Amino acid sequence: MPCGTALVFLGYFVGDWAELAGAVVLTAGMWLVGWLTWTQVRRGVTDRPTRALLGVSAVTLAATMVLALSWALGEATGLPHPSVEWMAATHGVCNAAGFALCGVAAWHRLRIRPL
């Protein structure tokens, strides 16, 4: 994921095709995180709210990274794609709330141990 992030950043200066390559690499990494969270981390969790938070976090990545790919592909090829404003309102907000907030809440719940 760091390489994908760096490529996306570099793409702002080099060109849209580098940005698309970065989006592909970053998406692959994020999908791997979501898949591992869904298949490995959730497996050992018996607390239903924590499982749900982990599930929302994992599923959000799958959906929002499709948006990122569609935007980067559209920028590189000229195909119709969402505007930057729409991306901020969907991809950005969903990642912040669905992936990050739910993920942090789930990991926090996993750390809490009853006395």
pLDDT tens digits, one per residue of 88-97: 999 999 999 9
Model pTM score: 0.84
Higher-pLDDT residue of 31, 44: 31
Counted domains in the chain: 1
Whole domain around residue 89: which residue ranges? Answer: 2-111
C-alpha angle 7-92-40 in degrees, rounded to nearest 5: 80
Region of 108 on the Ramachandran plot (φ > 0 left; ψ -120 to 50 alpha; else beta): alpha
Cα radius of gyration (the chain): 16
Cβ–Cβ under 8 Å, residues 29 and 1: yes
C-alpha angle 25-27-32 in degrees, rounded to nearest 5: 100
